Amino acid sequence: MKITRQKHAKRVLKFYHINFDLHPPFKVLVDGNFVYAAVEHKIMVAELVSSLLGDPKVKLCTTRCVLAELEKLGSAFKPALSVISQYKIVKCGHESPVVASECLGYLAGESNPMGFLFATQDRSLMAELREIPGSPILYINFNLIAIDPPSDKSLKMARKMDRRKLRVPTNEARRLGIGGGEKKKKRKKTKGPNPLSVKKKKKSKGKSGGSDVERPAKRSKGLDGAAVATAAAGNSAGDEAEPVAAASAAAVDSEAAGEATGEKPKRKRKRRHKKKKKSVELGL
Ligand SMILES: [Zn+2]
């Protein structure tokens, strides 16, 4: 029986953890009726609550309004008063004490912002708390402590939260590219223009479209460059300088060759490169 109760409690707490961010160490707000029932059933509240919730650091809390109510009820409630006075007192904001159920209901507010678990035997207070989403209820059943299953209000709120989670993160979805149909289209547009083809057109247009007047000028430059390169190679007379000079000469020649033929610059670059290497070597 204990195992099933604890499993049930784990499921309920997991629900509250996921949907309402309630997590250990839990704060259990206890009223006088709960402690009175615990004393009558000889229940060790702290031990049973911590074992039920699976939280050894659970904090049992109460309010001054609850203590004041127990004091008014007389000697029959003294044992309960002595137990509950050991719990941590939470500030409720009531300057003059109010009825315990009213005090706990006030702290629960509209959405249990303090994240309490409420331990009570007061059925009217239980009904009130079930109308407040995210407010778990503990109660004593015979000689055991049990946790109330999530109320309809809590379940409805959890569903709403799930829907919001699915709707809201459109920005995150865009970042992750989940709804990225638009992005794909944009990428296709950027790929479309093909800058490589544009460059080729410019080169071909510049060379083919160039007038006959420009060609002789470039040819003369190419020849001059080759002459300078061979002269530099001859002056250096080193083994390392030969490839550098040959490469520079070949580069200059390739321009002249490419411009002269127009269509097949690459093949003639290689041929003339080899020829000039040989000529440089023979010159040395
Ligand atoms: Zn109060």
CATH number at residue 60: 3.40.50.1010
How many angstroms does the Cα of residue 164 sit away from the middle of ligand 1?
A: 34
In angstroms, what is the span from residue 196 Cα to ligand 1's centroid? 77
Q: Where would I find the beta strands (DSSP E) of 161-239?
A: none
What is residue 9's predicted lDDT score, i.e. its pLDDT? 95
CA distance 89 to 31: 11
Query: Number of folded domains in the chain?
Result: 2
For residues 207 and 218, give the distance between their C-alpha atoms in angstroms, rounded to a whole number.
11
Q: Do residues 234 and 283 lie in contact, with contact meaning Cβ atoms separated by under 8 Å?
A: yes
In a domain, 60, yes or no: yes
Q: Is 189 domain-assigned?
A: no
CA of 150 to the centre of ligand 1 (A): 25
For residues 40 and 172, the model is more confident at 40
22, 101: one domain: yes
Task: Indicate the SS3 state at residue 176.
Answer: helix
pLDDT band at residue 262 using 50, 70 and 90 as cut-offs? very low
What integer best gives the mean pLDDT of the chain? 76
103 burial (CB, 10 Å; 0-12 / 13-18 / 19+) is: buried
Share of the chain above pLDDT 90, in %: 53
In a domain, 182, yes or no: no
For residue 268, name the pLDDT band (cuts at 50, 70, 90).
Answer: low
Range 248-253 average pLDDT: 43
Which range of residues forms the domain containing residue 50? 2-163
Asked if residue 177 belongs to a domain, the reply is no
pLDDT band, very low/low/confident/very high, at 258 (cuts 50, 70, 90): very low
User: Are 124 and 105 contacting, i.e. CB atoms less than 8 angstroms apart?
Assistant: no
Beta strand residue intervals within 72-179, DSSP E? 88-89, 116-119, 137-141, 144-147
Ligand 1 center to residue 151 CA distance, Å?
24
Encode pLDDT of 17-75 as tens digits: 999 999 999 999 999 999 999 999 999 999 999 999 999 999 999 999 999 999 999 99
Higher-scoring residue by pLDDT: 163, 271: 163
Q: What is the pLDDT of residue 172?
A: 62
Decide which of 137, 163, 189 is a domain's last residue.
163
Q: What is the mean pLDDT of residues 170-193?
A: 57
What is the DSSP secondary structure assignment for residue 28, as one 8-state letter?
Answer: E
Average of per-residue pLDDT across 258-281: 50
Q: 48: CA distance to ligand 1 center in Å? A: 26
Question: Ligand 1 centre from 70 Cα, in Å?
Answer: 13
| Residue 187 is assigned to a structural domain of this protein | no
Can you tell me the mean pLDDT for 9-17?
Answer: 96
Q: Which residues contact 17 (CB under 8 A, 6 or more apart)?
A: 23
Q: Which of 109, 141, 163 is the last residue of a domain?
A: 163
What's the gap in Å between 165 CA and the centre of ligand 1?
35
Ligand 1 centroid to residue 100 C-alpha, Å = 7
216 and 153 housed in the same domain: no
pLDDT at 280: 47
Rounded Cα gap, residues 212 and 189, in angstroms = 39
Tell me if 175 is assigned to some domain. no
9 alpha carbon – ligand 1 mean position (Å): 28
Q: 253, 221 in Cβ contact below 8 A?
A: no
183 CB-side CA count, 13 A: 8
Q: By the 8 A CB rule, do 89 and 78 touch?
A: no
Query: Which pLDDT score is estimated for 188?
Result: 57
User: Which pLDDT tens digit goes with each residue over 123-167?
Assistant: 999 999 999 999 999 999 988 999 999 999 999 999 988 887 766
Q: Which of 18-32, 218-232, 234-248 has maximum average pLDDT?
A: 18-32
Q: Summarize pLDDT for 92-117 with one digit per residue, the tens.
A: 999 999 999 999 999 999 999 999 99
Distance 93 CA to ligand 1 centre (A): 6
Q: What is the pLDDT of residue 128?
A: 97
Q: Which residues pair with 192 in a beta bridge?
A: none
CA distances, 167 to each of 17, 153, 175, 251 (Å): 21, 21, 15, 62
What is the rounded CA–CA span in Å between residue 225 and residue 242?
15
Kindly give the distance from the C-alpha atom of residue 36 to the centroid of ligand 1, in angstroms, as a whole number.
Answer: 19
- Is 142 found in the same domain as 92? yes
